[in-house]
Amino acid sequence: MDKIRLEIIGMSYSQSQSGAYALIMGEVGSKRRLPIIIGGFEAQAIAIELEKMKPSRPLTHDLLKKFADTYNVIIKEVIINKFHEGVFFAKLICEQGGIINEIDSRTSDAVALAIRFHCPIYTYEKILAEAGIILDETIASPFKKQKIQQKKGNVYGDYSLNELHILLKKAIDNEEYEKASEIRDEINRRKKV
Look at residue 145 in the predicted model and tell me its pLDDT.
36
Average pLDDT over residues 99-113: 97
- How is residue 134 annotated by DSSP? E
* Local confidence band at 97 (pLDDT 50, 70, 90 cut-offs): very high
Checking if the pLDDT of 139 tops 50, the result is no
CATH superfamily of 3-149: Bifunctional nuclease domain (3.10.690.10)
Rounded to the nearest 10 degrees, the angle between the axes of helix 177-192 and helix 161-173 is 160
Task: Specify the pTM.
Answer: 0.71
Continuous segment of H or E residues that includes residue 19: none
Domain boundaries of the chain, sorted by first residue: 3-149, 154-193
138 pLDDT above the threshold of 50: no
Q: CA of 75: how far to CAs of 24, 72, 101, 121, 157, in Å? A: 22, 10, 9, 11, 41
Please check the confidence at residue 143 and state whether its pLDDT lies above 90.
Answer: no
